[in-house]
Amino acid sequence: MAKTLKDLALALLNATLILVALCLFLAWKTATTVDGLTATFSENLIKITPLRDEVAGLRSDLSDIRNDLATLKSQSGEYSTATLIALQNKVQALETNVQGAQIRVRQLVDTPEQLIDHSIETAADALTRSISDVKGCVPAS
């Protein structure tokens, strides 16, 4: 009876140590993935800020061009009215595109939780693949 209890206690200790080792391994893999996501997220924010500034600069330039076109239109010169109107329409379309891009960039910068949610989902998928690779399993389709 004593031998059976001793064997049972050793088996329990062995199983506990295996579970602790597995938990430590998974925690290590998760920490590594989170560190990688944090670095990538920071790099993405650093890349977005100059883009936002550049779009704001383009919008300012477009406003200056529109003012110049309005000045040229008011002057009587060699430019025809049709040419000026066509040019102004092109500038208006370009400004609309720049405003749309600027709104999307502003939404991305103002709501970083969308980037965070995407990063978490990507990390979860990567962690699932890592665990499946360790176990030798194939994910269900």
Q: pLDDT tens-digit profile of 93-133?
A: 777 777 877 777 777 777 777 767 777 777 777 777 777 66
Asked if the model's pLDDT at residue 80 lies above 70, the reply is no
- pLDDT for the residue 21: 93
Query: Higher-confidence residue: 135 or 117?
Result: 117
**Average pLDDT taken over every residue of the chain:** 76
Q: Quick one: average pLDDT of 77-88?
A: 69
Query: Would you list the domain boundaries of the chain?
Result: 1-111
What is the CA angle 16-22-27, rounded to 5? 125
Q: Name the band, by pLDDT with cuts 50, 70 and 90, for residue 20.
A: very high
Question: CA distances (Å), 21 to each of 14, 18, 28, 122, in order?
Answer: 11, 5, 11, 25
Q: Per mean pLDDT, which range of 39-53, 82-96, 100-114 is the poorest?
A: 39-53
Put simply, whether the predicted model's pTM sits higher than 0.95 gets the answer no
119 to 34, 43, 46, 82, 138: CA distances (angstroms): 9, 13, 16, 51, 23
